[in-house]
Amino acid sequence: MTKQREYYDVAIIGGGAAGLTAAIYCGRARLKTILFEKALPGGLATYTSEIENYPGFPEPIAGTELMKRFEKQAKRFGVDIKLTAIKAVKLDDAEKVVSTFRTDYAAKAVIVAAGGKPRLTGATGEAAFLYDKGISFCATCDAAFYTDKTVLVIGSGDAAIEEAMFLTKFAKRVKVSVIHDEGILDANEVAKEHAFANDRLEFIWNTMVHEFKGEERLTQVVLKNIKTNELIPVDVDGCFLFIGYLPDTDLYQGQLNMNSRGYLPTNEHMETNIPGVFAAGDVRDKVLRQVATAVGDGAIAGVTAERYLAETAYFEQQIMGDNKLTLVYCWNPVDPLCRTLMGDVERLKDKYHEKLKVVVVDMYKSTKIAERLGITQAPAVALINNRQVCYRSGAPAVDIGGVETEIAATCSE
């Protein structure tokens, strides 16, 4: 089967807070943008029943509602949203390719905002009951199914405790397996206070999952006391895992640099090791993973992608795209030496105007174009002939005489 091929300026992988924010910025910049999300737009934020720390919302807001607003805003700026899984990516060429089952999407820039995937316990029997067979990762999504039933929550962090309290609005009984000693939770102080005051929560201290049991669906979770090794069978109608997340970066192995835990290192511009590929949100190697920080990442990635495309177009059209011999002068207008050398550059431009094109690059605003020419410091010059750098001169001083000799020799050929 021959695959279809579609073309975009920017492809964004992941429709959580980071991906949707990047999409808003790219769409608003009039870039042809496509966003891929394998589930529903909103990502992990939709798993949260109440978000209380996102600026601008003095009252708690459901994660699903907040993300619907993000999605609506992205669509208003013309972003195409495809609810489909990515099968493969090829990122190391100038034209990047994001492949689904039926279609290859070519893009000039890619933003990886794939988020995280729930961490599993690794206990016996777990795989048989994932998702719709008794083990869940989203209280907001599945709480209603467990109305008047008994559920077990695994974990003691913010997500675990907050979602356990949300489940008490539906379930008859909510039990919480905590690996720590009695009274110790990893959640914030407000969540702890509310949890200990909720008489529908029952804590099982010093425990971790030993085995999941059942026939068609999960019916029992066997916990193990980590101090006494006692096995504690807990009859349940369902189990919710909130023990953290892993970055969803398997697809990028061998292409993007990642740390030992699978997170993608970036600089402050969200740039990865591949030009034109950016990372934002929970896939990044960073300190804090919240909706607010994902939004910041997405905004930076969107703006940086826009600048990358503009600089690429300028580089190809103005520097590499002319048949004329091209002199590129990289300068910093606040530097006295750079201003002095500008007079020499203007003289060369006037003298060889019929055969020489002069392009001035302001490194005070951005160093990216200069870096494509192998220049990292102003002042510097590069001579381009047939899309190749045939001469370069720079720090500590530009050899104007050498530049003119090279120009004269090339023009006389």
Known catalytic membership, residue 138? yes
Residue 384 phi/psi, 5-degree rounding, is -110, 125
Please tell me whether residues 237 and 272 are part of one structural domain.
Answer: no
Mean pLDDT, range 341-354, rounded to an integer: 93
What are 297's two structure tokens?
A: 């990442």
Predicted local confidence at residue 51, as pLDDT:
85
Please tell me whether residues 270 and 222 are part of one structural domain.
Answer: no
How would residue 396 be classed by pLDDT, with cut points 50, 70 and 90? confident
Residue 139: CATH number of its domain: 3.50.50.60
Q: Provide the strand spans (E) within 102-205.
A: 103-112, 116-118, 135-136, 150-154, 173-177, 201-204
Please state whether 65 falls in left (phi above 0), alpha (psi between -120 and 50) or beta. alpha
Please tell me whether residues 14 and 111 are part of one structural domain.
Answer: yes
The DSSP 8-state label assigned to residue 318 in this structure reads I
Where is average pLDDT lowest: 38-47, 207-216, 221-230, 244-253?
38-47
- Condensed to tens digits (0 to 9), the pLDDT of residues 130-157 reads 978 999 988 877 889 999 999 999 999 9
Q: Residue 248: count other Cβ atoms within 10 Å of its Cβ.
A: 20
Predicted local confidence at residue 245, as pLDDT:
87
Say how many Å lie between the first and final Cα of the chain, rounded. 52
From the list 26, 138, 239, 338, the catalytic residue is 138
Residue 139 phi/psi, 5-degree rounding, is -65, -40
| DSSP secondary structure string for all residues of 175-237 | EEE-SSPTT--SS-HHHHHHHHH-TTEEEE-SEEEEEEEESSSEEEEEEEETTT--EEEEE-S
Domain final residue pick, 288, 315, 342: 315
Place of tokens 């974990």: 155
Please tell me whether residues 249 and 236 are part of one structural domain.
Answer: no
Q: What is the chain's alpha carbon radius of gyration, rounded to the nearest angstrom?
A: 28
Burial class (CB in 10 A: 0-12, 13-18, 19+), 350: exposed
Closest-CA residue to 236 (of 146, 170, 318)? 146
Please tell me whether residues 135 and 170 are part of one structural domain.
Answer: yes
Predicted local confidence at residue 177, as pLDDT:
97
Please tell me whether residues 249 and 237 are part of one structural domain.
Answer: no
Is there a contact between 342 and 329 (Cβ–Cβ < 8 Å)? yes
Please tell me whether residues 288 and 230 are part of one structural domain.
Answer: no
Predicted local confidence at residue 1, as pLDDT:
60
Residue 341: CATH number of its domain: 3.40.30.10
Please tell me whether residues 104 and 24 are part of one structural domain.
Answer: yes
- Condensed to tens digits (0 to 9), the pLDDT of residues 274-327 reads 999 999 999 999 988 889 999 999 999 999 999 999 999 999 999 998 778 999
Is there a contact between 130 and 29 (Cβ–Cβ < 8 Å)? no
What are 320's two structure tokens?
A: 């590499």
Please tell me whether residues 165 and 211 are part of one structural domain.
Answer: yes
What are 42's two structure tokens?
A: 């909103």
Please tell me whether residues 209 and 252 are part of one structural domain.
Answer: no
Place of tokens 């949100």: 281
Domain final residue pick, 194, 213, 241: 241
pLDDT exceeding 90 applies to what percent of the chain? 82
Predicted local confidence at residue 44, as pLDDT:
83
Is there a contact between 394 and 380 (Cβ–Cβ < 8 Å)? yes
Strongest mean pLDDT among 124-133, 182-191, 269-278: 269-278
Please tell me whether residues 156 and 199 are part of one structural domain.
Answer: yes
Q: Residue 281: count other Cβ atoms within 10 Å of its Cβ.
A: 34
User: How do beta strands 207-214 and 325-331 pair?
Assistant: unpaired
Closest-CA residue to 266 (of 287, 280, 247, 245)? 280
Domain hosting 189: range is: 126-241
**Higher confidence at residue 98 or residue 3?**
98
Report how far residue 103's alpha carbon sits from residue 90's, in angstroms, rounded to the nearest whole number: 14
Tell me how far apart the 2 most distant CA atoms of the chain are, in Å: 91
Q: Coil, helix or strand for 35?
A: strand
Is there a contact between 229 and 203 (Cβ–Cβ < 8 Å)? no
Mean pLDDT, range 255-277, rounded to an integer: 96
Report how far residue 293's alpha carbon sits from residue 213's, in angstroms, rounded to the nearest whole number: 39
Please tell me whether residues 226 and 285 are part of one structural domain.
Answer: no
The DSSP 8-state label assigned to residue 144 in this structure reads G
Domain final residue pick, 299, 315, 331: 315
Total domain count, the chain: 3
Known catalytic membership, residue 239? no
Burial class (CB in 10 A: 0-12, 13-18, 19+), 341: buried
From the list 80, 92, 104, 141, the catalytic residue is 141
Is there a contact between 112 and 277 (Cβ–Cβ < 8 Å)? yes
Q: What is the mean pLDDT of the chain?
A: 93
